[in-house]
């Protein structure tokens, strides 16, 4: 039975774990392998790791890091960063990753979604769209850590991605990244209207109430967060955390 998922989102920069605000000024917050071990103990639903250097620097995925992450992870693990070919995707899956996140490459070549889905199964292919509001209204998809506008309408592209065989869509709000002031509900609502695929939202969570609001609004949905699960308190002390089972039961309205 499908159910909502609460997903920590980790960003890797220079092989370290970082957190950004509006995709800028990465702040070092620890070792990604250590973070995976801590999240194991907290029995998270799923973990997403994004290498924010690979595409910008034109590098191959860091297979050594991916292998170490996968070997330590006891939960479903999604990896994204630098994947441009079917062969790269297959190699990553062979290292123990359950889901692969595609972004820049499929914006340039949408048929890559179909090629990878046909080879590894649609359920493992995740399309990630980093989205920013336009000055005169509407939204646009960006790449290269929010630096390059593509002119692509996210609502049209998610429909295309669904037709081409994507297994899930991740919508990441650049405007809300690291702000911890709540998700962009209008953006989420509009994407949800366009697709029937599993969907995960990212960007803006400042409290468990923000997560609960999304689940109340959309039911079975993935709700991801970065800052919420690596910072604690008003001064943002670095502390890996995750909802307890009791807190999750409240969010999911179990035994209420």
pLDDT in tens, 180-211: 999 999 999 999 999 999 999 999 999 999 99
Helix H or strand E encompassing 143? strand 139-143
Q: Which of 14, 45, 51, 130 is catalytic?
A: 130
Average pLDDT on 89-101 reads 97
Q: What is the mean pLDDT of residues 14-35?
A: 96
Token reading at 47: 């973990």
> Average of pLDDT values for 118-135?
96
Longest Cα separation, the chain: 50
Query: In 3-state terms, what secondary structure has residue 158?
Result: helix
Q: How confident is the model at residue 166 (pLDDT cuts 50, 70, 90)?
A: very high
Q: In the Cβ-directed half-sphere of 103, how many Cα atoms lie within 13 Å? A: 26
Please tell me the predicted confidence (pLDDT) of residue 15: 92
Round to whole Å and give the CA distance between 101 and 48. 9
As a residue count, the chain comes to 256
Distance of alpha carbon 92 from alpha carbon 202, whole angstroms: 23
Q: What is the pLDDT of residues 224-240, one digit of tens each?
A: 999 999 998 888 899 99
- Which pLDDT score, from 0 to 100, does residue 30 have? 95
pLDDT at 255: 67
**Cα Rg of the chain, angstroms:** 17
For position 190, which CATH number holds?
3.20.20.70
Beta carbons of 167 and 124 less than 8 angstroms apart: yes
Residue 77 has a CB neighbour count (10 Å cut-off) of 21
Structural domain harbouring 180: 5-252
Per-residue pLDDT at 207: 96
What pLDDT is stored for residue 2 in this prediction? Answer: 76
Total tally of structural domains belonging to the chain: 1
Residue 31 known to be catalytic = no
Q: What's the whole-number average pLDDT of the chain?
A: 96
**Out of 85-94, 144-153, 246-255, which region has the weakest mean confidence (pLDDT)?**
246-255
pTM to 2 decimals? 0.96
Q: Give the CA distances from residue 181 to residues 74, 98, 142, 199, in Å, rounded to whole numbers and listed in that order.
A: 31, 31, 21, 21
3-state secondary structure of 33: helix
pLDDT at 156: 98
pLDDT for residue 141 is more than 80? yes
Residue range 130-136: mean pLDDT, rounded:
96
Q: Return the SS3 of 251.
A: helix
Strand 5-13 vs strand 222-225: parallel, antiparallel, or unpaired? parallel
Which pLDDT belongs to residue 170? 98
């Amino acid at each position: 039975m499908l159910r909502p998922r609460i997903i920590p989102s980790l960003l890797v920069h220079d092989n370290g774990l970082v957190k950004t605000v509006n995709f800028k000024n990465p702040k070092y917050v620890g070792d990604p392998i250590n973070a995976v071990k801590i999240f194991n103990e907290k029995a998270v639903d799923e973990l997403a790791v994004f290498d924010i250097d690979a595409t910008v620097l034109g590098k191959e995925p860091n297979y050594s890091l991916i292998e170490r992450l996968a070997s330590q992870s006891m939960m479903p693990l999604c990896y994204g960063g630098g994947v441009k070919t079917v062969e790269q995707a297959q190699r990553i899956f062979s290292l123990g990753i359950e889901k692969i996140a595609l972004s820049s490459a499929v914006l340039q070549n949408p048929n890559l979604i179909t090629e990878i889905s046909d080879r590894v199964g649609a359920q493992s292919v995740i399309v990630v769209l980093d989205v920013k509001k336009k000055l005169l209204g509407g939204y646009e998809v960006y790449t290269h850590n929010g630096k390059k506008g593509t002119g692509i309408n996210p609502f049209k592209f998610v429909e295309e991605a669904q037709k081409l065989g994507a297994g899930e869509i991740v919508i990441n709000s650049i405007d809300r990244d690291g702000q911890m002031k709540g998700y962009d509900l209008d953006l989420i609502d509009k994407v949800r209207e366009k697709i029937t695929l599993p969907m995960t939202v990212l960007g803006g969570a400042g409290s468990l109430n923000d997560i609960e609001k999304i689940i109340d609004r959309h039911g079975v949905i993935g709700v991801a967060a970065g800052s919420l699960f690596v910072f604690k308190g008003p001064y943002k002390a670095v502390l890996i955390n995750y909802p307890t089972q009791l807190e999750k039961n409240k969010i999911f309205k179990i035994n209420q």
